Amino acid sequence: MHAVFASYAKELGCSYIQDEAGNSYLVNDPSDGYCLIASHLDSVIEGGEYDGAAGVIAGLMCLRWARRDGLRVPLRVGAFRCEESSNFGLCTIGSGLITHESYKENIDSLKGKDGRTIAEVFREKGWSLHPKKISGIGEYLEMHIEQGKVLDETKTEVGIVGTIAGPKRYRMYLNGMADHSGATPMSMRNDALCAAAAIILEVERIGHREAAYNSVATVGVLNNAPNVMNVIPGEVTIGIDMRGIQKESLDRMERDLLRAVKSICQFRRIDCRQEKINDVSPIRMSPETEEGLVKAARELGLSFRRMPSGAGHDAMSFPPLCRTGMVFIPCRAGISHNKLEYTTIPSVADGTAVMYRYLKDRYGTR
Ligand code: HGY
Ligand code: MN
Ligand code: MN
């Protein structure tokens, strides 16, 4: 995908560069103060074709229109690596590394699904986990499918994002005692999978309780060992993903989760090792960029709504550095992270037109 992305350089009159973390860019003008329009090219396992890719295509279209119209602004289009937490459990790795915003702690020992550490993978690819910080950026824009049902169900053409939900993520390693499923009396078991089941239902209960604040809580990862019919499960790993646009709600979910894990494991005589893999506060987009995108949508006569993002995005990495804004487009039935994920070319064009109109309003043409 990055090679295909790079192949557009010539027809768009751009140069292709890669940063030290392996992220790709097309550059129409090397001067500072550039506007970066980007998203990611990786996807979740068994995912769809639009999450990330649609936003990169929107950037390429803006480059093409800017070249046609002689837009004055220095534009770059970016394709980030490893935005999804599917492999290393951590999200927005590519954009987080080059902004130095998301990873102040050392992530070298994070293991991917194939057991190799991120340090081994980066070394093999010739990339750095400690790249020099991105510089010269004036503004960051990203277009993305909503991955929710609001725009589709309300038949709204575009969404303008105000706040992106922050993720708090844990991996819990539950250790009980593998034992004979036939010969071990029920009162003498340390069943790690039953403890996990109690925790999973508690995560769901906490999520429902905080739904009033737009918070959600999910257990998406479950590994059970030895995972055979006649052995009481001894070792279980679960991955917990909590998200919220209100910090207090996120903190309440975390507090109640840790309390529940402690009491469930004590009651069931299970040892639990906790690994906190993500703790990103809810991120506010720049108000002036948000207002500019709203103005552009209005000028284009597109139906729009201001809305939060429940999903995380590379745009989370940029507000500490520069003005940042996001545009959403509908996806069919809100389905995402699923092969059925779908949006239309006219919707991609609508979202792109809003970003491009914003650029013209802000920077003007020759
Ligand atoms: O998981 C997310 O929120 C995003 O799709 N990376
Ligand atoms: Mn995604
Ligand atoms: Mn995405």
CATH of the domain at 105: 3.40.630.10
Task: Assess whether the C-beta atom of 312 lies below 6 angstroms from ligand 1.
Answer: yes
Residues 246 and 323 reside in one and the same domain: no
**Ramachandran assignment for 115, one of left (phi > 0), alpha (psi -120 to 50 degrees), beta (any other):** left
pLDDT at position 278 is 86
> Which of 279, 294, 313 finishes a domain?
279
Residues 30 and 154 reside in one and the same domain: yes
Order of strands across the sheet with 166-175? Answer: 216-225, 235-244, 166-175, 271-279
Residues 159 and 170 reside in one and the same domain: no
Contact 118, 93 (CB under 8 A): yes
DSSP three-state, residue 319: coil
> Which of 240, 261, 279 finishes a domain?
279
DSSP 142-163: EEEE--SSHHHHHT-SEEEEEE
For residue 193, what are its two tokens? 């999978």
Q: Report the nearest-CA residue for atom 6 of ligand 1.
A: 84
| Cα 135 from Cα 26, distance rounded (Å) | 15
| Cα 316 from Cα 299, distance rounded (Å) | 27
DSSP three-state, residue 322: coil
Q: What is the pLDDT of residues 259-288, one digit of tens each?
A: 999 999 999 999 999 999 889 899 999 999
For residue 102, what pLDDT band results from cuts at 50, 70 and 90? low
> Which of 212, 244, 279 finishes a domain?
279
Task: Tell me the pairing of strands 271-279 and 166-175.
Answer: antiparallel
Q: Residue 195: name the closest of 233, 168, 221, 239 by CA.
A: 233
**Can you tell me which atom of ligand 1 is nearest the CA of 84?**
6
pLDDT at 23 over 70: yes
Q: What is the pLDDT of residues 274-329, one digit of tens each?
A: 999 889 899 999 999 999 999 999 999 999 999 999 999 999 999 999 999 999 99
Contact 156, 278 (CB under 8 A): no
The ligand minimizing its distance to the Cα of 341 is 2
| Cα 255 from Cα 328, distance rounded (Å) | 32
User: How far apart are the CA of 84 and the centre of ligand 1, in A?
Assistant: 6
Q: Which of 23-27, 62-66, 98-102 has the lowest mean pLDDT?
A: 98-102
**In testing the pocket of ligand 1, which one of 313, 326, 338 has its CB within 8 Å of the most ligand atoms?**
313
The ligand minimizing its distance to the Cα of 312 is 1
pLDDT at position 107 is 87
Backbone angles phi, psi at 35, to 5 degrees: -100, 125
Task: Give the predicted TM-score (pTM) of the model.
Answer: 0.90
Residues 156 and 177 reside in one and the same domain: no
CATH of the domain at 174: 3.30.70.360
DSSP three-state, residue 198: helix
* Residues within 5 Å of ion ligand 2, judged at the Cβ atom: 51
Residues 269 and 305 reside in one and the same domain: no
Task: Assess whether the C-beta atom of 341 lies below 6 angstroms from ligand 1.
Answer: no
Residues 187 and 253 reside in one and the same domain: yes
pLDDT at 90 over 90: no
Residues 146 and 237 reside in one and the same domain: no
Residues 76 and 12 reside in one and the same domain: yes
Q: What is the pLDDT of residues 172-226, one digit of tens each?
A: 999 999 999 999 999 999 999 999 999 999 999 999 999 999 999 999 999 999 9
Residues 160 and 290 reside in one and the same domain: yes
For residue 62, what are its two tokens? 């803006």
Residues 233 and 258 reside in one and the same domain: yes
Number of domains in the chain: 2
Q: Residue 35: name the closest of 162, 160, 136 by CA.
A: 136
Task: Assess whether the C-beta atom of 83 lies below 6 angstroms from ligand 1.
Answer: yes
Contact 69, 283 (CB under 8 A): no
Q: What is the pLDDT of residues 114-140, one digit of tens each?
A: 999 999 999 999 999 999 999 999 999
| Cα 349 from Cα 90, distance rounded (Å) | 31
Task: Tell me the pairing of strands 137-145 and 158-164.
Answer: unpaired
DSSP three-state, residue 224: strand
Residues 230 and 131 reside in one and the same domain: no
Residues 11 and 140 reside in one and the same domain: yes
| Cα 161 from Cα 174, distance rounded (Å) | 38
The ligand minimizing its distance to the Cα of 55 is 3
- Domain of residue 248 covers 166-279
**Can you tell me which atom of ligand 1 is nearest the CA of 311?**
3
